[in-house]
Structures are given as structure tokens and as C-alpha cells.
Amino acid sequence: MVEQVQILLPKFPRGFHLITHLIEENLPPLPDKGILHVFIQHTSAGITLNENADPTVRTDFETVFNKLVPDGAAHYIHMFEGSDDMPAHIKSSLVGQSVTIPISNHRLNPGIWQGIYLCEFRNNGGRRRIVMTLLS
């Protein structure tokens, strides 16, 4: 059985943001077991799972990703969409554009401390579209 829900997130500033609640509140009743695929329809943003408790983790994510793939590096050719565009594409492929989460006992079962992060890599990314597909 397949169910699918498409949502439009509110606009977030550049950085890593917990969106678990926005995902969960848009889901239908969950089956006994299955998987949930959460997909972002963009390649200058990403979706990942990480620690949901301490906000400094998300601050450090932003710092570290900017050091790994800096804005406006001299070796980028693709520059006409802004100095934050090419690094956003690279970061998007590093973290990925989707997560797949097991469903157990009618609940998402990612572990205790796991939250779903929107990784907004653009300075002005705007509202991002998410496709959630539930297989059971």
C-alpha cells in the first residue's frame, strides 16, 4: 500500500532546522510497519537526520559545512546564481535530498534523539517542497 502527501514548508533562513513536527503533522495514520520516504524537490537544500536536542549541534553543522564547501571559492565556474549557489548544490549531494525512516507499531521509529533536519543551503531559498511517500 502506498500513500503520498506533498507539502510546502514555510521559508527558513540559511542553516539547519528541525522539521520533524511539520512532517508528522501532515502524515496520515501510520501502518503497523513500513517505511516513510521524505524527499525534498530541490538541489540547493537537503534533508538529513540528526540530533534533535541541543540547538548548538545545528549551529555547528552550519559552521562545518561552510568550511568544507565555502561560499564563492575561486575555483567555482558556476557563479551567476550567486556565491552561495554552487556550494549549496555540493552540500545537497553530500547530505542527500531524502531520508527513509522505518515505521514500527504505527509510529516513526528513527531512534530517540533523531530529528528530521531541513538543510537550507541558500541565503534566500524560499519555500521548499516536500514529497512524503509511505509504503506498507
Q: Confirm if 126 and 10 have CB atoms less than 8 A apart.
A: no
Tell me how far, at minimum, the Cβ of 44 lies from a second copy, in Å. 8
Q: Does 122 bind a second copy (CB under 8 A)?
A: no
CA–CA separation, 2 and 34 (whole Å): 10
Q: Pick from 7, 18, 27, 131 the residue near a second copy by CB under 8 A.
A: 131
Choose among 30, 19, 22: nearest CA to 52: 19
For residues 97, 91, 129, 48, the Cα torsion angle rounded to the nearest 10 degrees is 50
Q: Does 30 bind a second copy (CB under 8 A)?
A: no
CA–CA separation, 97 and 111 (whole Å): 20
Partners of 119 in the beta sheet? 16, 46
Q: Does 26 bind a second copy (CB under 8 A)?
A: no
CA–CA separation, 116 and 49 (whole Å): 5
Q: Which of residues 72-101 bind a second copy (CB under 8 A)?
A: 73, 75-78, 86, 89-90, 92-101
Q: Does 20 bind a second copy (CB under 8 A)?
A: no
Q: Does 125 bind a second copy (CB under 8 A)?
A: no
Q: Does 33 bind a second copy (CB under 8 A)?
A: yes
Interface residues with a second copy (CB under 8 A)? Answer: 2-4, 6, 31, 33-35, 37, 39-44, 48-51, 54, 56-57, 59-61, 63-64, 67-69, 73, 75-78, 86, 89-90, 92-102, 104, 109-114, 117, 129, 131, 133, 135-136
